[in-house]
Amino acid sequence: MTSPLRLALSGTDSPLAEAVQRNLHAVAGAEVVSPGENPHYILHLGDGPPPATASCGLWRLRLHPPGRFLRAAALEQTTPQGVTSLDLRILPAALSPEQALLSLADAPARICRLLLAGIPLPPPVSLPPYVPPGGLAVKLQQLLRNTLLTEIWHVGLVNAPIASFLDPNFEPRLQWLANAHPRHFFADPFLAVEPGGLEILVEEYDYRNDPVGRIGAIAFEQGRFQSPAQRIFPSPNHMSYPFLFSWQGQRYAIPESWERNCVRLHRWDPLSKSWDTGKTILDGLPAVDSTVFHHNHRWWLFCTEKSPTVDCRLLIYYADHFEGPWMPHLANPVKVDIRSARPGGTPFHVGESLYRPAQDCSESYGCRLALNRITTLTPTSFAEETVHVLRPHPSWPCRDGFHTLSGEGDWTILDAKRMTFLADLAIGRISHKIKRLMRYSEVNSR
């Protein structure tokens, strides 16, 4: 479609309309006009009947009824041939209707960018089977679990390539890294094969002394983890997901630190045996779980961003070199699906096929891991399919979640979650909920 693409809004008196217009104004070649100015499409945001659309298409934002774990939100188009979904997003059921609708605020701008570039609209994801929300007993059970139990992650290492996990019958023989004490854990592991052993980077978290994520380095030599972890990348901010990759014999790391509103790259110095202080390669983005890899003569950066939909919205950037400059993918967010969007480890090739681990946070944070095969990846198009879903094995000591899978060569490392009752932390959460209820009651009584 040639520019300008004219889009009219009706029912515009709402915060949602302001967000939609703000996104549309950033699209070169798109114009927001009145319904009487011969628009190509009318986006109706109100609850009442839309204006007549005899000569143009009608777009609406729609929420599907929430289920027990999921709710769907869609940008739909109505034509004489019927209703089609232009952009279907799978969100957590816990989002309020207002939050779910606001998550669609960039959908009209996204579709406009694709139409203006002449890019075929990708087929939307399928609507998941509806699971009823459950009664009071189910909700009470979830509340008690979230209040009384604390998540403790454990890191396991296996001498097998990461592609082994594509086999549904593969049963890894894991060697588990011991946590320092019951209120401490390691998570988000990545590894590098070194002469004589492995170098492992992890998030280290201590509920007792330092309830902020730190990055630690642990050597694996002669079949044993050489603990304790050495603290690296000092920062006052929370840090996690220390993504590791190598290029031309040089090792690099990108730890997540979304509070700095940027993505920073660190280089390993083999002479001093230390990491440098890092450099910013992508600024102005509170990126979460940044994952960088080389494919088809380009560098790609996959991430989500800190927001109420942090587990759902996949963003892609591309560059000629991993130090940038990075350009946003035309279709960002390329995918909004809490079941398989957020990065969860090292992308890998098997023959000509490219796979990536992604987190499934639909039932709880880090409940499962999806292995996705990327079928299309260009600066303007993206498509992938989930080919296998990984769950903790029944023989593992921690069977409540699984959210990182990474590897290099013949070694793979992962993390798994165990929900644990820790009395002092449970009492703290109960106290926090009581105080919040009291403040809410005071506000409503005024």
Cα-based torsion angle of the residue sequence 171, 172, 173, 179 in order, rounded to the nearest 10 degrees:
-130
Q: Is the pLDDT of residue 51 over 80?
A: no
Whether 173 is covered by a domain: the verdict is: yes
Whether 148 is covered by a domain: the verdict is: no
Q: Hey, what are 261's tokens?
A: 């509103």
Residue 402: the pLDDT is 96
Instruction: Indicate the range of 24-38, 120-134, 155-169, 377-391 predicted with least confidence.
Output: 120-134
Residue 392: the pLDDT is 95
Residue 440: the pLDDT is 67
284 and 235, same structural domain? yes
Q: Which amino acid is at 129?
A: P
382 and 260, same structural domain? yes
307 and 176, same structural domain? yes
353 and 406, same structural domain? yes
329 and 190, same structural domain? yes
How far is residue 12 from each of residues 49, 58, 106, 240, measured CA to CA in Å? 13, 15, 15, 40
Residue 5: the pLDDT is 94
234 and 105, same structural domain? no
Query: How many other CB atoms sit within 10 Å of the CB of residue 250?
Result: 11
324 and 223, same structural domain? yes
For residue 203, the enclosing domain spans 154-420
Q: What is the pTM of this model?
A: 0.94
220 and 336, same structural domain? yes
Question: Do residues 64 and 71 lie in contact, with contact meaning Cβ atoms separated by under 8 Å?
Answer: yes
Whether 138 is covered by a domain: the verdict is: no
66 and 203, same structural domain? no
- The SS3 assignment for 445 reads helix
Whether 129 is covered by a domain: the verdict is: no
Whether 42 is covered by a domain: the verdict is: yes
Domain CATH code at residue 327: 2.115.10.20
390 and 345, same structural domain? yes
* 215-230: pLDDT as tens digits: 999 999 999 999 789 9
Whether 137 is covered by a domain: the verdict is: no
Q: Is the pLDDT of residue 75 over 90?
A: yes
Whether 440 is covered by a domain: the verdict is: no
Before 228, cis peptide (omega within 30)? Answer: yes
Before 211, cis peptide (omega within 30)? Answer: no
Report the length, in residues, of the chain: 446
228 and 366, same structural domain? yes
Q: What's the rounded Cα separation, in Å, for the pair 62 and 88?
A: 9
- The SS3 assignment for 296 reads coil
* 182-207: pLDDT as tens digits: 999 999 999 999 998 999 999 999 99
Domain CATH code at residue 77: 3.40.50.170
Q: What's the structural domain count of the chain? A: 2
| Beta-bridge mates of residue 193 | 198
Closest to 151 (Cα-Cα) out of 392, 413, 434, 437 = 392
CA angle 367, 167, 419 (to 5 degrees): 20
Closest to 268 (Cα-Cα) out of 282, 254, 250, 281 = 250
Query: How many other CB atoms sit within 10 Å of the CB of residue 194?
Result: 14
162 and 112, same structural domain? no
Q: What's the rounded Cα separation, in Å, for the pair 33 and 41?
A: 10
Angle between helices 107-117 and 15-25 (to 10 degrees): 30
Whether 441 is covered by a domain: the verdict is: no
φ/ψ of residue 217, rounded to 5: -115, 130
> Locate tokens 């549309």: which residue?
24
* 259-289: pLDDT as tens digits: 999 999 999 999 988 999 999 999 999 999 9
- The SS3 assignment for 140 reads helix
Among 96, 117, 138, which residue terminates a domain? 117
Q: What is the mean pLDDT of the chain?
A: 92
